[in-house]
Structure 1
Amino acid sequence: MSVIYVLLTISIIVAIIFFIAFIVAVRSGQFDDDYTPSVRILFEDELVKDNKSKSLNN
């Protein structure tokens, strides 16, 4: 029974460590996406052209 308490304590400590690492990564800007917004308009233009060509063919 004492093994369960030890494993539970260790797992909670590991979970807290990963949560703190995640919070530090978010605050430092690790997950900021600087590339996609600058090229998003290019992808939308291609989709609009594809939709127009499909509607003209029908």
Structure 2
Amino acid sequence: MIVNPKICIGCGTCVAICPVEAISFGKDGKAVIDQKKCIHCGGCKASCPVSAIDED
């Protein structure tokens, strides 16, 4: 999964829903996904209110 920083609003929904804590906030306040931790469950993509997360 990958976050489009131009679309991300930094709401934190994906951070809260990630079961493996693979998502954090970058210095710009936007979500960043740690690809080594991500299990590609799709929860973040489904929960994003602005559709900023997509498959890699």
Normalising by the residue count of structure 2, what TM-score does the alignment of the two structures yield? 0.19
Larger Rg: 1
More helix by share: 1
Q: Which has the higher contact order (CA 8 A, sep 6+)?
A: 2
